[in-house]
Chains A and B, each alone.
Chain A
Amino acid sequence: MKRSDITLQARHRDKLQALLAHPRGHEGAAYMLLGRSEIAQDPWDLEPRTRYTSNEVIAIPQEDRVDASDKHVTWNTNSFAQLCRRAKEEGLVPAIVHSHPGGFDGFSDQDDRNERDLFTMARNRNGEGTRLVSVVQVGDGLYRARVWEDDMTPLPCHRVTVIGTRLEIQSPDVPTPSEALARQALAFGPEVNGLLTQLSVAVVGCGGTGSPVVHLLARLGVGRIVVIDDDVVEHSNLNRLYGATRKDADNAVPKVDVMAREVTMMGLDVEIRSMKGWVDAPHIRDALKSCDVIFGCTDDHAGRLYLNRVAHFYLIPVIDVGLVLMPRDDDEPGLLEMAARVSVLFPTSACHGCRGTVDRVRAREEELQRSDPAEYERQKTEAYVRGAGNPAPAVVTFTSEAATMAVNELLAGLVDFRGGGGWTWQRYRKLDKGLERSQAVQPRPECPLCGSDEYWGLGDVDPFLDRVG
């Protein structure tokens, strides 16, 4: 059976809870519009799957409410027709949400009949290929969902994920975590290992910060990892690349192959896939879209800009790692600045552009250098592009520290080890002074990505990510 799942923005979950709440415990109802992410091939099970993402929550108008009790809710379908019209125009999937305040965990026969009628209505209006998602809120915080693709049998969603400043996974069946993780449960409680086992994580960039991130994720018990990088091991990497040997450098082995080999050799319950290529290559899209979290461990500005959009369109948090080791400008050894930065990119917080953590001019130059090296060189001689400077300093203790900060941010999204609040949007650690500060980051109102919610959870659009690829 084809797998599907739903990701809700935490602010949408909050709105649903408010709309569905009733002082006397009656059932309530609301609508949603969902983005759709079609995955032709999941990188782990190689099967197609569909993910749905909340784009908007819509209240059912008061005049459409017919009747409700603690056992049922009935509403007039005028507003449902409106919902279907918008879904078709905007390329989204309509969803109905209702509550089971008494705690019945599942869909009733009555739900089956009502939803089948609504699905038929939607299909008659919007045509073949129409889908209808149904979500039920059990009690006041648990969600179950299913998808109607025909009027016979709906497909259950294998999980509902709620993401804001933490990652809440609601799944009816949690795999049994490995015994190797028992000591970690002593620190965080038994739930954490079950959550980690269910995670699919991409690591983009397997260099100084990416390679320790991969090793930490595997030891931590993340169930599925996909590593993405286009580079091969070079001798100059051996001072910091976890798992790489001199022989790998001699043979120019792809970095992703080293990661897959090392993690496989650990013999833990981790399924690792490697993809050699540039992060925005079409064959890598499915892998990224399949993930619950993406680690951005690239020092490339174009790659950062790309992942920045993936986070917003697909509701996949991107944990971006940056290291600043700025050499002195007087040719003496030493560093002017040494700092590690970890940013979590996700709707409601500022995007890379608004944080100033990406250089767009440099991004354009990198793209030009990749797509048309001859033209890049020509523009460099014409002084139209600045060109990259000398190789940046790199020290394994600093790259590893940045990687640890990044993986701890994921942990903070799963367990409250810092005393509540989930992850921090941005941390900046001065490596020389041992000081760390959290940085407030506000979206600019005119930013199309983070200043408005149009793109949040929009899913697949043409062109991909609404940008030139």
Chain B
Amino acid sequence: MSLLPRQDRRYLEGRGITVREVIAGGKKGVILTGITLPEGKYQVAQADILILLPPSYPEVAPDMFYAVPHLKLLAGQREPRCTQARQAFDGQTWQRWSRHNNQWRPGTDGIWTMLKRVEEALEVAA
């Protein structure tokens, strides 16, 4: 059983990214392990990122994303803005990055769009 649509799988295979597809508590998500964070910005160099896939994806957008460990900015020793909510999933408590997404273009956007959004959010977080 696969969770991701074929285009996403092709993209991830092409980039050599392995993801863990998880169904837990009625929710479906992919966990990207060991994502490299912007250098010198957070208390850790790598984190796991969870993307919850809503029913009907990829026709509708994934919304927010989640991180473990809970990321803190080195500057100020605090969590970035809008990351205070928590989400339990697959036995872990995730830090919710509330970055809302209604700019989804079905057919054009996929897991690659979401990865780019995650990278950008991690880069510009303050």
Q: Which residues of A contact B (CB under 8 A)?
A: 280, 302, 305-306, 309, 353, 360-361, 363-364, 367-368, 371-372, 382, 384, 444, 446-449, 451, 461-463, 466-469
Residue from A302, A309, A449 in contact with B55 in the complex, judged by beta carbons closer than 8 Å: A302
B60 to chain A, nearest CB (A): 4
Instruction: Report yes or no: A466 in contact with B5, Cβ–Cβ below 8 A.
Output: yes
Instruction: Report yes or no: A444 in contact with B27, Cβ–Cβ below 8 A.
Output: no
A408 to chain B, nearest CB (A): 30
Interface residues of B in 8-58 (CB under 8 A from A): 26-28, 53-58
Residue from B57, B63, B107 in contact with A444 in the complex, judged by beta carbons closer than 8 Å: B107
Asked if A463 meets B107 with Cβ closer than 8 Å, knowing A306-B56, A468-B54, the reply is no
Instruction: Enumerate chain A residues within 8 angstroms of B60, measured Cβ to Cβ.
Output: 305, 360-361, 363-364, 367
Asked if A371 meets B55 with Cβ closer than 8 Å, knowing A446-B107, A446-B108, A462-B2, the reply is yes
Whether, in the assembled complex, B3 has its beta carbon less than 8 Å from a beta carbon of chain A, the answer is: yes
Asked if A467 meets B56 with Cβ closer than 8 Å, knowing A371-B26, A384-B100, A462-B1, the reply is yes
A-B contact pairs, 8 of them (CB 8 A): A302-B56, A353-B106, A364-B61, A371-B27, A448-B106, A468-B28, A468-B55, A468-B57
Residue from A363, A446, A461, A469 in contact with B59 in the complex, judged by beta carbons closer than 8 Å: A363
Closest chain A residue to B28 by CB distance? A468
Instruction: Report yes or no: A449 in contact with B107, Cβ–Cβ below 8 A.
Output: yes
Q: How far is the CA of A292 from the CA of B62 in the complex (A)?
A: 33
Whether, in the assembled complex, B116 has its beta carbon less than 8 Å from a beta carbon of chain A, the answer is: no
Q: How far is the CA of A94 from the CA of B5 in the complex (A)?
A: 24
| Chain B interface residue number, banded | 20 to 34
Residue from A360, A382, A462 in contact with B106 in the complex, judged by beta carbons closer than 8 Å: A360
Asked if A367 meets B56 with Cβ closer than 8 Å, knowing A360-B104, A451-B107, the reply is yes
Instruction: Report yes or no: B26 in contact with A363, Cβ–Cβ below 8 A.
Output: no
Instruction: Report yes or no: A363 in contact with B56, Cβ–Cβ below 8 A.
Output: yes
Instruction: Report yes or no: B59 in contact with A367, Cβ–Cβ below 8 A.
Output: no
Q: How far is the CA of A363 from the CA of B106 in the complex (A)?
A: 13
Residue-wise, chain B 96-126 has the 8 Å CB interface mask toward A (1 for contact) of: 0010101010111000000000000000000
Whether, in the assembled complex, B81 has its beta carbon less than 8 Å from a beta carbon of chain A, the answer is: no
Closest chain B residue to A308 by CB distance? B59
Instruction: Enumerate chain B residues within 8 angstroms of A361, measured Cβ to Cβ.
Output: 60, 102
Instruction: Report yes or no: A468 in contact with B27, Cβ–Cβ below 8 A.
Output: no
Q: How far is the CA of A305 from the CA of B6 in the complex (A)?
A: 18
Instruction: Report yes or no: B56 in contact with A353, Cβ–Cβ below 8 A.
Output: no
Whether, in the assembled complex, B93 has its beta carbon less than 8 Å from a beta carbon of chain A, the answer is: no
A23 to chain B, nearest CB (A): 42
Q: Which residues of B contact A (CB under 8 A)?
A: 1-7, 26-28, 53-61, 63, 98, 100, 102, 104, 106-108
Closest chain A residue to B100 by CB distance? A384
A420 to chain B, nearest CB (A): 34
Interface centre among A384, A451, A462, A467 (most CB of B within 10 A): A467
Closest chain A residue to B59 by CB distance? A305
Q: How far is the CA of A237 from the CA of B60 in the complex (A)?
A: 31
Give the 6 A-B CB pairs with smallest separation, nearest first. Answer: A364-B60, A468-B57, A367-B55, A468-B53, A466-B5, A448-B107
Instruction: Report yes or no: A372 in contact with B56, Cβ–Cβ below 8 A.
Output: no
Q: How far is the CA of A280 from the CA of B54 in the complex (A)?
A: 14
Instruction: Report yes or no: A353 in contact with B59, Cβ–Cβ below 8 A.
Output: yes
Q: How far is the CA of A77 from the CA of B6 in the complex (A)?
A: 31
Q: How far is the CA of A468 from the CA of B63 in the complex (A)?
A: 14
Q: How far is the CA of A463 from the CA of B56 in the complex (A)?
A: 11
Instruction: Enumerate chain A residues within 8 angstroms of B53, measured Cβ to Cβ.
Output: 468
Closest chain A residue to B30 by CB distance? A468
Instruction: Enumerate chain B residues within 8 angstroms of A363, measured Cβ to Cβ.
Output: 56, 59-60
Instruction: Report yes or no: A305 in contact with B2, Cβ–Cβ below 8 A.
Output: no
Interface centre among A353, A446, A463 (most CB of B within 10 A): A463
Q: How far is the CA of A109 from the CA of B46 in the complex (A)?
A: 68
Q: How far is the CA of A47 from the CA of B51 in the complex (A)?
A: 40
Closest chain B residue to A352 by CB distance? B59
Interface centre among B3, B61, B98, B107 (most CB of A within 10 A): B107
Instruction: Report yes or no: A280 in contact with B55, Cβ–Cβ below 8 A.
Output: yes
B56 to chain A, nearest CB (A): 5
A43 to chain B, nearest CB (A): 24
Instruction: Report yes or no: B56 in contact with A468, Cβ–Cβ below 8 A.
Output: yes
A114 to chain B, nearest CB (A): 35
Instruction: Enumerate chain B residues within 8 angstroms of A463, measured Cβ to Cβ.
Output: 1-5
Q: How far is the CA of A451 from the CA of B108 in the complex (A)?
A: 12
Q: How far is the CA of A280 from the CA of B56 in the complex (A)?
A: 10
A284 to chain B, nearest CB (A): 14
Instruction: Enumerate chain A residues within 8 angstroms of B28, measured Cβ to Cβ.
Output: 468
B78 to chain A, nearest CB (A): 21
Instruction: Enumerate chain A residues within 8 angstroms of B7, measured Cβ to Cβ.
Output: 448
Instruction: Enumerate chain A residues within 8 angstroms of B59, measured Cβ to Cβ.
Output: 305, 309, 353, 360, 363, 467
B91 to chain A, nearest CB (A): 18
A331 to chain B, nearest CB (A): 29
